[in-house]
Amino acid sequence: MSSTAANPPNTAADHTSSPPPDLSVVVPVFDEEESLPPFWQALLPVLTALGGTWETIFVNDGSVDDSAAVLDALADAEPRVKVIHFRRNFGQTAALAAGFEAARGLAVVALDADLQNDPQDIPAMLARLDEGYDVVAGWRHDRQDSALLVNLPSRVGNWLIGRVTGVRLHDYGCTLKAFRADLLADIRLYGEMHRYLPVFAHLAGGRISEMQVRHHARQWGRSKYSVIKTFRVLLDLLTVHFLASYATKPLYFFGRLTAAAWMGSVGCICWAGWRKFADGEFVKDQPIFMLGIFFATVGLQLLVFGLLAELVMRTYYESQGRAIYFVRSRRNLP
């Protein structure tokens, strides 16, 4: 892997003085040395045919193969190619977040570098943005992946995400998406939340469209999909649901749990009292009375958690500018 220290980046003035391009293409990269040259050969004619100004931002997510050298060569040959190298692998969400932050285009398109996404779908997605939509999500309707190990869990996950969030899409996992840049400025990504970008856009008031895109069988590298990742998606779904419903009022969430616990406590204590006066059984001899005390204590703890969550969420909103990644070097960027 070649070092980028001998190639100093452009100054900030060079980067910010020029007008923003019409389009920024963000491409996360992780161990894609074989697919990068054919990917660029497929992407460049599409960008050239669009006729406007553009930039392509590759984010090297800690690749351990020669992807960094390939990207640096592309950046040396084409100034409109920007490269960000992470110090280690931080995941696709962090890579997209870095690319979105560096993007200066009026529209932003994200897609994978393994050529399973087809760059030829980009013009149609941009045309859909011109119709007034803020996000255009790709739908791999003819997905070329394992039916049992990938497609089936994906369909179940997409249905569940749509059911919980209320944003019904066929394919949340498709990286190929187009955005208006002003909408992306209001979205911050954490964890592995990149697949929920349409949900965050919906929460920000964006208009969302979905269109069928081509999907090709994998020719290079290996799939990053795993069953563990599916479990992570479900955990992230809990976070998204909480943020969507209670991001600014977490005490309401914990308050409901507190009310349920205290109602259980009152019910247990009343039952113990009825047994005392109806049957003469001492309260101290009734396990249900201790259960009532337990529910009362849990309810108090949940209430305290809710108050702490209110403080944490306020801190969360005040600290949005904190980066979730560490950059090793940049090319053609300040």
190-220 pLDDT, tens digit per residue, is 777 888 899 888 888 889 999 999 888 777 6
- Residue 79's pLDDT is 94
331 backbone dihedrals φ, ψ, rounded to 5°: -125, 130
How far is residue 100 from each of residues 30, 121, 217, measured CA to CA in Å? 17, 20, 27
- Residue 196's pLDDT is 87
Helix (H, G, I), strand (E, B) or coil at 228: helix
How far is residue 296 from each of residues 269, 292, 304, 310, measured CA to CA in Å? 10, 6, 13, 21
- Residue 7's pLDDT is 43
Q: How many CB atoms lie within 10 A of CB 310?
A: 16
- Residue 226's pLDDT is 55
Return the ∠ at Cα 224 (arms to 218 and 227), rounded to 5°: 120
pLDDT tens sequence across 313-334 = 777 666 655 555 557 677 887 7
Instruction: Please give the order of strands across the beta sheet that includes 23-29.
Output: 208-212, 135-139, 177-180, 107-110, 23-29, 54-60, 81-86, 327-331
- Residue 225's pLDDT is 56
- Residue appearing with tokens 């100054």: 11
* Integer Cα distance of 28 and 189 in angstroms: 14
Residues 6+ apart with CB under 8 A from 93: 189, 190, 191, 192, 193, 194, 324
- Residue 99's pLDDT is 95
- Residue 155's pLDDT is 77
- Residue 189's pLDDT is 80
Torsion over CA of 103, 175, 211 and 200, rounded to 10 degrees?
A: -70
Low-confidence ranges of the chain (pLDDT < 70): 1-17, 144-151, 220-231, 283, 316-326, 328
> pTM for the full model?
0.73
- Residue 251's pLDDT is 84
Q: How many CB atoms lie within 10 A of CB 223?
A: 12
Helix (H, G, I), strand (E, B) or coil at 57: strand
- Residue 237's pLDDT is 80
Q: What are the tokens at 129?
A: 């943005």
Q: What are the tokens at 61?
A: 């997510």
Half-sphere exposure in the Cβ direction for 323 (13 Å, CA): 12
Q: How many CB atoms lie within 10 A of CB 102?
A: 20
Helix (H, G, I), strand (E, B) or coil at 109: strand
- Identify the CA nearest to 55 among candidates 36, 33, 27, 91: 27
- Identify the CA nearest to 274 among candidates 263, 262, 264, 286: 286
Half-sphere exposure in the Cβ direction for 316 (13 Å, CA): 14
Half-sphere exposure in the Cβ direction for 44 (13 Å, CA): 12
Half-sphere exposure in the Cβ direction for 189 (13 Å, CA): 24
